[in-house]
Chains A and B, each alone.
Chain A
Amino acid sequence: EVQLVESGGGLVQPGGSLKLSCAASGFIFSGSTIHWVRQASGKGLEWLGRIRTKANTYATTHAETVKGRFTIFRDDSKSTAYLQMNSLKSEDTAVYYCTREFLAHDSWGQGTLVTVSS
Chain B
Amino acid sequence: QSALTQPRSVSGSPGQSVTISCTGTSTDVGGYNYVSWYQQHPGKAPKLMIYAVTERPSGVPDRFSGSKSGNTASLTISGLQAEDEADYYCCSFAGSDTDVFGTGTEVTVL
Contacts and interface: CB of A to CB of B under 8 A. Distances in A.
Contacts, number: 58
Nearest to B48: A106
Interface residues of B, number: 24
Contact of A45 (B51, B55, B104): B104
Interface of A: 35, 37, 44-47, 50, 59, 61, 63-64, 97, 103-106, 108-111
Given A59-B97, A63-B98, A108 B89 contact: no
A61 B97 contact: yes
B3 A44 contact: yes
Interface in B1-46: 1, 3, 34, 36, 38, 45-46
Interface SS of chain A: strand
A47 B98 contact: yes
A4 to B, nearest CB: 9
B96 interface: yes
